[in-house]
Amino acid sequence: MLEDVKNCNVNVIVAYKLDRLTRSVRDLEILITELKKYECSKSFPVSKCKLCSIM
């Protein structure tokens, strides 16, 4: 997936649950940094995830 983002084949990533995308906070941070670098949008539902409490 990251190769597709880097090659501009993907410009939006939608994940219905964060744990389907990554399982660790560190990996999520790396992923978000890479997505920003390649101007790729992201959409993660946070209704059931307490993301604010881990940042």
Domain ranges of the chain: 2-54
pTM of the model: 0.65
pLDDT value at residue 52? 55
Alpha-carbon distance of 55 to 38, in angstroms, equals 23
Per-residue pLDDT tens digits for 4-49: 998 989 888 888 877 888 888 899 899 889 989 999 888 876 655 5
Output the DSSP codes for 6-49.
HTTS--EEE-SSGGGT-SSHHHHHHHHHHHHHTT-EEE---SS-
